[in-house]
Amino acid sequence: MSDPRRSLARALPVAPAVVLLLLFLAGPIAYCAYIAFTDLQLTGQAHSSFVGFANFRTAFGDEAFLNAVWLTLVFTVVSSLVGQNTLGLALAALMQRASKPVRTLTGGVVITAWVLPEVVAGFLLYAFFRKEGTLNAILDALHLPSQNWLYTLPILAVSFANVWRGTAFSMLVYSAALNEIPKEITEAAEVDGAGGPSRLWHITLPMIRRSIGTNLMLNTLQTLSVFGLIWVMTRGGPGNKSQTLPLFMYEQAFQNSMIGYGTAVALLLLLVGSVFSVMYMRLLRTEV
């Protein structure tokens, strides 16, 4: 048997990390689970009281909350599941065949969009989608109807912004995955006369399915917590037409001073995130 004093000494270096994680991550999560059940307010009332599930009942009867849930769903599906994921896979697949200079150039541009600070990305896309912006300039040049995107279709504009900013990650994941498919397999299929779509469906996609799963999970988790990008572009508006859950949570907690209610929304977001997180861990299970 190992000497307990020795194992304690060996485990000691983990202590600073554990202390930090307990105080600043586990602590707030526990506190979150607590104040979600109180009527705590920002305005410094003497003490808050326990209100049970009242905040959650309020939420599910609150049209603004249901609106935020719906918009979060649209935002996640359009920008993460469809946009980043499909575009990332398409770019990675094209890169397998393209010439080196084009591949390097495209990779560089797409990755730059990813590395930029969130607020800068928001500001660039704000300019792009504004009434006087580049998108409308292009549409005018093509004699297509232009419109005030941030006003008429704000959730679509911020979704595209998230695609612009996030596709690089999917592209990198899929490039790595496609590089691992042995050349002989695709070439054999090609010689056997399997066309492009059939090769994609029967060979490529099954071989990279683990990467697809990982990528979808991580994209979704990242998209669920987007705040700055939307904040800079629309502040959740006009009205609440682009107010996803993080922005709704912020508004309730700080603009309406209802920390308890805002935290209840945060807790729901955290629960959804946890479910995805557990699914992601199951995907990676063999690797731990």
Binding positions for another protein, 144-203, rule CB under 8 A: 164, 166-169, 172-173, 175-177, 179, 190-191
The whole-angstrom distance between residue 263's C-alpha and the CA centroid of its chain comes to: 20
3-state SS of the chain is CCCHHHHHHHHHHHHHHHHHHHHHHHHHHHHHHHHCCECCCCCCCCCCCECCCHHHHHHHHCHHHHHHHHHHHHHHHHHHHHHHHHHHHHHHHHHHHCCHHHHHHHHHHHHHHHHCCHHHHHHHHHHHHCCCCHHHHHHHHCCCCCCCHHHHCHHHHHHHHHHHHHHHHHHHHHHHHHHCCCHHHHHHHHHCCCCHHHHHHHHHHHHCHHHHHHHHHHHHHHHHCCCHHHHHHHCCCCCCCCCCHHHHHHHHHHHCCCHHHHHHHHHHHHHHHHHHHHHHHHHHHHHC
Q: How far is the CB of 167 from another protein (least distance, A)?
A: 8
Candidate list 78, 157, 158, 259; residue touching another protein; CB under 8 A: 259
Residue 99 beta carbon to another protein: minimum distance, rounded to whole angstroms = 6
Residue list 33-92, contact with another protein (CB under 8 A): 35, 40, 87, 90-91
Piece in contact with another protein (CB under 8 A), picked from 56-64, 67-75, 142-150, 275-283: 275-283
For the bound state, the minimum distance from the C-beta of residue 55 to another protein, rounded and expressed in Å, comes to 12
Q: At what angle do helices 209-224 and 259-284 cross, to 10 degrees?
A: 170
Please choose, out of 68-76, 98-106, 146-154, 198-206, the segment that lies near another protein by the rule CB under 8 A.
98-106
Q: Which stretch binds another protein (CB under 8 A): 69-77, 110-118, 147-155, 197-205?
A: 110-118
Residue 43 CB, nearest distance to another protein (Å)? 12
Q: Which stretch binds another protein (CB under 8 A): 27-35, 58-66, 70-78, 197-205?
A: 27-35
Smallest distance, Å, CB 137 to another protein?
4
Q: Which stretch binds another protein (CB under 8 A): 9-17, 51-59, 65-73, 148-156?
A: 9-17
Binding test (CB under 8 A) with another protein, winner from 11, 185, 188, 205: 11
**Interface of this chain with another protein, residues 194 to 253, rule: CB under 8 A:** 211, 214-215, 217-219, 221-222, 224-228, 231-232, 246, 249-250, 253
By the rule CB under 8 A, 16 interacts with another protein? yes
Nearer Cβ to another protein, position 7 or 49? Answer: 7
Measured distance CA(61)–CA(77) in Å, rounded: 24
